[in-house]
A and B are shown apart, each in its own frame.
Chain A
Amino acid sequence: EPEVTQTPSHQVTQMGQEVILRCVPISNHLYFYWYRQILGQKVEFLVSFYNNEISEKSEIFDDQFSVERPDGSNFTLKIRSTKLEDSAMYFCASCAGGFNQPQHFGDGTRLSIL
């Protein structure tokens, strides 16, 4: 069964540095998402992406964050000038679109900011 793949599985970065989290969605999917889960808390929506543009973003997704689909297969989340509170698990998801279609999640990237 096709899967959403995320790399790296764990990223450790110094505060103030930039990080790029990578995702390869399922190949025929049209909708892409990033979610975040701070340790011990629930999963929160960050941003959705469709037709090469952001379709919705949460209040968490401020100017520090950006997303890109650079080559038609990868979907990336960039965090500029990371802060301690950016430490979390980041999940990528994709969906084929249309009605009656579930979102498929990757295994996540655990981001630790020191």
Chain B
Amino acid sequence: GIQVEQSPPDLILQEGANSTLRCNFSDSVNNLQWFHQNPWGQLINLFYIPSGTKQNGRLSATTVATERYSLLYISSSQTTDSGVYFCAVERNEYGNKLVFGAGTILRVKS
């Protein structure tokens, strides 16, 4: 099946710093989503981004489908950004399952 690798596995930032999280996937996809899992365990959908670039406030994401990777940028990080960030991809048949990466654990220190 498709493989999803996220890096780095862990990241510690000082409040106000910027960061880039990466997601590599092993096959062509028609869906890619970034999630933030908060301390209560909820999965918050950040972006639906099978290709191209999107921005939402301090967050932005870019997916280069032809090179099979996606990047999540966090600018001016805040302590509330702490948590686990997951990338998940779906194969070319719609209605198919999402395959999740192992996540990046982000800790933002004040």
A residues in contact (CB < 8 Å) with B? 30-31, 33, 35, 37, 42-45, 48, 50, 55-56, 58, 89, 91, 93, 95, 97-105, 107-108, 110
Q: Does B83 contact A (CB under 8 A)?
A: no
Q: Kindly state the separation between the CA atoms of A110 and B102 in the bound complex, as whole angstroms.
A: 19
Identity of the chain A residue whose Cβ is nearest the Cβ of B90 in the assembled complex: A103
Q: A55 to B95, Cβ gap below 8 A?
A: yes
Query: With A99-B30, A102-B31 known to touch, is A50 a contact of B95 (CB < 8 Å)?
Result: yes
Identity of the chain A residue whose Cβ is nearest the Cβ of B6 in the assembled complex: A42
The main secondary structure of chain A at its interface with chain B is strand
How many positions in chain B have a CB within 8 Å of any CB in the partner chain? 24
Q: B43 to A48, Cβ gap below 8 A?
A: no
Q: B97 to A45, Cβ gap below 8 A?
A: yes
The 10 closest A-B pairs by CB, nearest first: A102-B48, A45-B97, A43-B100, A105-B43, A31-B95, A107-B42, A42-B100, A42-B102, A89-B41, A108-B41
User: What is the CB-to-nearest-CB distance from A38 to chain B, in angstroms, rounded to a whole number?
Assistant: 12
Number of A-B residue pairs with CB-CB distance less than 8 Å in the complex they form: 59
A-B contact pairs, 24 of them (CB 8 A): A35-B98, A37-B41, A42-B86, A42-B101, A42-B103, A43-B88, A45-B97, A45-B98, A48-B96, A48-B97, A55-B95, A56-B97, A58-B97, A91-B43, A93-B98, A97-B95, A99-B94, A101-B31, A102-B31, A103-B31, A103-B33, A105-B35, A107-B42, A110-B41
Q: Kindly state the separation between the CA atoms of A93 and B33 in the bound complex, as whole angstroms.
A: 13
Q: Does B45 contact A (CB under 8 A)?
A: yes
Identity of the chain B residue whose Cβ is nearest the Cβ of A50 in the assembled complex: B95
Q: Does B11 contact A (CB under 8 A)?
A: no
User: Which chain A positions have C-beta within 8 A of B13?
Assistant: none
**Chain A CB within 10 Å — which of B30, B35, B48, B94 has the most?**
B94
Identity of the chain A residue whose Cβ is nearest the Cβ of B31 in the assembled complex: A102
- Pick from B45, B96, B102: contact of A102, CB below 8 A: B45
